[in-house]
Structure 1
Amino acid sequence: MADTKQTKTIGEHYVAAELARRGWAPAMTRDGIARTDILAVKADDARRQMIEVQVKAARGPRFERISWPLGLKSQEPAKQDGEFFVLVAIPDDEALMPRYFVVPRDHIAAAAYMAHQDWLLDPLAKAGKRNATVARSRVSVPTFERYEGRWDLLESGQSSAPVLLDGRFHALASDPRVGLPPAHPWHDKLPTWD
C-alpha cells in the first residue's frame, strides 16, 4: 500500500513544477492554510494574478481505478475566483507519468456531491447496502477526464471556466433525488455545459 504522505508530497511537487513551467511562481503552504496547498502568482503578467491551489493526489495500478477522497471540505464553494483543485493521478508503474486534472473549486464541489448522492440514492441499489455519508465521497478519473491538462483554466478564473463535467451531471444537478450541495453558487443559475 502506498504511503499517503509520500503520495501527497509527490502530487504537490509535481504540481508546483508544472505551475512554474507555465510562468507561475508557486509557494507551498506546508499545511498551514486551510483549502490551499500552493499559492502562486503569475510572474510574467503585469496584473500579478494570484491563485490558490488545493492538490489531491492518489495512486493506483490503473488510471481508470484511481479515485480521490473529496469530502465535506472539498464540497464547499469557492471563496474567490482564483480557487482551483489540481487532481493528480499517480500510476504505480514508475515508467508512466502522472496525469493532472485542473478543476475549478465550484466544479469539484458540485461533482463530488452529485456523484455521491447519485450513488447513495440509486433506486436500483439494494436497500440498506449503501449508507456512507457525503463526507466519504470519492470521485474517479473518468469524472474529470475533460479537465486533464487544462492549465489554461487557471488564467481565466473559475467564474469564466467552462463546465467540462460530463452531461449526466447537468441532469443530476436538476434531479430532485440528487441536486447540488447546499450554498453552491449554481443554485442561482445552472451554467451551460461545454
Structure 2
Amino acid sequence: MVSASSVLGAAGEHYVMCQLLRRGLIAALAPVGVPNCDIVVSDDVGDRLCAIQVKTRNAKGSDGGWHMRRKHEGIKTPTLFYAFVDFGIGIAAQPICYVVPSLTVADVISRSHQAWLATPGVKGQQRKDTDFRRFLPDYDRMGIRIGCGRDWLEPFQEGWGILAEKIASTS
C-alpha cells in the first residue's frame, strides 16, 4: 500500500514539473534514489542544467514549515534549488510554491537550528541536537530570531524566474 506522504510528495513533484514545462523549460523526474535531486531541469536546448529537490506539505502543523534534515545544512550547490510546495487545506486550495536556492536553504536552516539549540527547552533544559530541522516561512513566530520573520520568503514565492535566470547563466 502506498503511504499518504508518498502520494503527497509525488503530487508536489508533478506540480513543480507542470510549472516548469509551462514556462518553456525542459524538466524530467530524476531516477528514484538520487539523494539530492527530484527533478532535472534545463533550457530548451538541453545544455544548461539545474536540479530541484521538492518538499511538499499541506497545511498541517502549527509552524507552517517543511521537514528537513541535518544533511541539508551542507548541501550548498549553486545549481540546486528547492521547491517548497504548500497545497494548503483541502482540494480547492490554490498551491503556493517557494523556489529557493540551496545556498539560502543551507544557511537559514543552519542558523535557525543553532538559534533553537541556544534557547532553553520548555522546562528550562538544554535542548538536544538531532538530525531534524524545519524550514519555516516565519521563524520569528517560533521565537527564533535570525532575521527571517514573517515576509522573508516572499521574494521566493512563485520564484520560477530565479531558477530560469540561473539556467540562462549556467554554461
The interval holding the TM-score normalised by the smaller chain is 0.7 to 0.9
Instruction: Find the counterpart in structure 2 of residue 139 from structure 1.
Output: 135
Q: Offset of 1:126 from its aligned partner? A: 4.6
Q: TM-score, normalised by structure 1?
A: 0.69
| Partner residue, 1:48 | 47
**1:31-180 residue pairs with structure 2 within 5 A?**
31-43=32-44, 48-61=47-60, 65-79=63-77, 81-122=78-119, 126-128=123-125, 130-133=127-130, 135-142=131-138, 144-157=153-166
Q: What one-letter code is carried by the residue in structure 1 that aligns with 2:21?
A: A
Cα distance change, pair 124–70 in 1 and its aligned pair in 2 (3 A)? closer
> Does the 8 A contact of 1:61 with 1:93 survive in 2?
no
C-alpha contact (below 8 Å) 2:99/2:160 kept by paired residues = yes
Tell me if structure 1 keeps the 8 A contact 2:52–2:80.
yes
Identity %: 25
CA contact (8 A) 2:120 2:126 kept: no
Moved over 3 A (4+): 123-126
TM-score for both structures, normalised by structure 2 = 0.78
Aligned-partner SS, 1:137: strand
Q: Distance in 1 between matches of 2:12 and 2:163?
A: 17
Q: Structure 1, unaligned stretches of length 5 or more? A: 161-194
Q: Give the superposed CA RMSD.
A: 2.6
Aligned to 2:142: none
Q: In the TM superposition, what whole-angstrom CA distance separates every residue of 1:92-124 from its partner, at most 9, and x where no partner exists?
A: 221111110000001000111111211221269
CA deviations on 1:55-78 (whole Å, 9 max, x unpaired) are 01111258x742111212221232
1:24 Cα deviation after fit: 1.0
Counterparts of 1:58 and 1:136, CA distance in 2: 16
CA apart distance, 1:157: 2.8
Query: Contact (CA 8 Å) 1:84, 1:105: kept in 2 or not?
Result: yes
Alpha carbons of structure 1 residues 40 and 60: separation in structure 2 relative to 1, 3 Å: same
Tell me if the contact between 1:7 and 1:58 (Cα under 8 Å) persists in the aligned partners: yes
Gaps of 5+ in 2: 139-147
Counterparts in 2 of 1:93 and 1:128: CA distance versus 1, 3 Å: same
One-letter amino acid of the counterpart of residue 154, structure 2: E
CA contact (8 A) 1:28 1:37 kept: yes
